[in-house]
Amino acid sequence: MLHIDQPEDRGGPAQPLVIARGLAKYFPLKRGLFGSGGAVKAVDGLDLEIKKGETLAIVGESGCGKSTVSRLLMGLIPPTAGEVLFDGELVGSAALPAKEYLRQVQMVFQDSYASLNPRLSIEESIAFPPMVHGLGRTEAVERAHDLLDAVGLAPGLFAGRYPHELSGGQRQRINIARALALRPRLIILDEPVSALDKSVEAQVLNLLMDLKEQFGLTYLFISHDLNVVHHVADRVLVMYLGRAAEIGPVESIFAAPGHPYTRGLLASRLSMDPTKRRKTPPLTGDPPNPVNPPPGCRFNTRCPIAEPVCSNSQPNLAAIGHTIHALGHEAACWALVPGSGHSLATRKVA
């Protein structure tokens, strides 16, 4: 009999679960038969590591490429460039065929309704993926019931229902249960609580934290809500127009953001203290269209500390942390690069 269990840990705890190198995705713009209109550089050269058992959050505004990253990692769209290693093995190689990889990575989307088949009962929806992968019907249904239990929905009450009979929060629980059905190691959560009411959001966040322990999961958590990210994440990747602006441990980033964009985003959070209201917004303007990103540092058009060097060339991620808590804290900003020519950067020590 076939069992679908969580695959063994091959690389050991020190081996990152996911390594992505030079990941890029360009969407060509169609302009009729004559002449092509360039491309939207949704993701443009991204390096990324997700450690085993951690929650890595990607934050950023519309057009930053965070959802494209999740779709690239899920294999839903082919990358323009770059490669992905999963537990040390190249995805798509003989050691890790794409199908085996995709079983170990599952995804939960923002729209809980659109991601469920309206004609399948809850039980069938959850049992379907394991059955496709060869698990017998009885075992699959049994697993579905266990998972319903795990996400806090009584199987006796919910197994036979259909998606439209459930509330948004309940449907999102179903989506989570279904993602767990193949016993994956990585779950990509793409704005999983953005469409939910606050009281339901809290329930789902609690559930996600519980399941992570219980099933030994690693999360890639994509969100625009910095409060939620601060609550759930271990490390944070801040993206802007398809590039990484900053990455690092959540405490370090929230306490001492290095990139002016991260500072602006953090300052844009709504204060919960009406006695301390500000007068001026931290950032001005909208995020630009990724079709024509500005030259140099992509943030230079909205950056409060931009200087000529910023529109000349593109900065890369470089370590900025000097304390033990800030280990792995990197930002891509010329003001932080010694000798870059930015007036805020220290002079290069000769």
Partner 1 sequence: MRDDLLVLARDLRVKFTTGVNAVNGVDFDLRQREVLCILGESGSGKSVTLRALMRLNPPTKTIMSGTLELGGRDVVQASENEMSDLRGPFVSMIFQEPMTALDPVFTIGRQITETILRHENISRRKARRRALELLELVQIPSAKRRLDAYPHELSGGLRQRAMIAIALSCRPKLLLADEPTTALDASVQIQILLLLREIQQELGMGMIFVTHDLGVAGEVADRIAVMYAGRFIEEGPVADLMRQPLHPYAKGLLGATVHEGSRGKRLTTIPGAPPDLRDLPGGCAFAPRCTEAEGACLAHLPELRTPVPDRAARCIHVDDRPAAFGERLAS
Partner 2 sequence: MLLYTLRRILYAVPIALAVSLVCFMLVHIAPGDPIDAILPPDASAETVALVRKDYGLDKPLPVQFGLWLAHVVQGDFGRSIANRRLVADELVSAASKTFILATTAASLGFVIGCILGGLAGAFRGTLIDRAAVSFAVGGVSVPHYWLGMVLVIIFSVTLGWLPSMSAGPGDWAWDWLHIRHLILPAITLSVIPAGLVTRTVRGVVVEILSQDFMTTLRGKGLRRLMLTVHVMKNAAPTALAVMGLQLGYLMGGSILVETVFAWPGTGMMLNQAIFQRDIPVLQGTTLVLAMIFVALNLLVDLIQTALDPRMRRT
32 makes contact, choosing from partner 1, partner 2, none, with CB < 5 to 8 Å by partner type, with partner 2
Contacts of 241 (CB under 8 A, 6+ apart): 41, 44, 63, 64, 65, 287, 288, 290, 293, 298, 299
Q: Is 52 left (phi over 0), alpha (psi -120 to 50) or beta?
A: beta
Is the Cβ of residue 34 or residue 347 nearer to partner 2 in the bound state? 34
Question: How many residues make up the chain in this entry?
Answer: 350
Q: Would you say 54 and 235 are in contact if contact means Cβ atoms under 8 Å apart?
A: yes
Stretch binding partner 2 (CB under 8 A), from 31-39, 93-101, 115-123, 208-216: 31-39
Q: Is residue 272 a contact residue for partner 2 (CB under 8 A)? A: no
H-helix or E-strand spanning residue 250 = helix 250-255
Number of residues binding to partner 1, judged by CB under 8 A: 43
Query: In angstroms, rounded to a whole number, what is the distance separating the alpha carbons of residues 132 and 103?
Result: 11
Query: In angstroms, rounded to a whole number, what is the distance separating the alpha carbons of residues 57 and 237?
Result: 6
Among residues 299, 297, 290, the alpha carbon closest in space to that of 263 is found at: 299
Is the Cβ of residue 150 or residue 202 nearer to partner 1 in the bound state? 202
Is the Cβ of residue 133 or residue 230 nearer to partner 1 in the bound state? 230
Stretch binding partner 1 (CB under 8 A), from 72-80, 204-212, 307-315, 327-335: 204-212
Instruction: Tell the smallest beta-carbon distance from residue 111 to partner 1 (Å).
Output: 15
Q: Which of residues 90-149 bind partner 1 (CB under 8 A)?
A: none
Q: Is residue 34 a contact residue for partner 2 (CB under 8 A)? A: yes
33 makes contact, choosing from partner 2, partner 1, none, with CB < 5 to 8 Å by partner type, with partner 2
Q: What's the DSSP call for residue 341?
A: S
Instruction: Tell the smallest beta-carbon distance from residue 6 to partner 1 (Å).
Output: 25
Q: What does the block give as tokens for 204?
A: 């789902």
Applying CB under 8 A, the residues found at the interface with partner 2 are 31-34
Applying CB under 8 A, the residues found at the interface with partner 1 are 61-62, 167, 169, 197-199, 201-203, 205-206, 209, 224-228, 230-231, 250, 264-265, 268-275, 277-287, 289
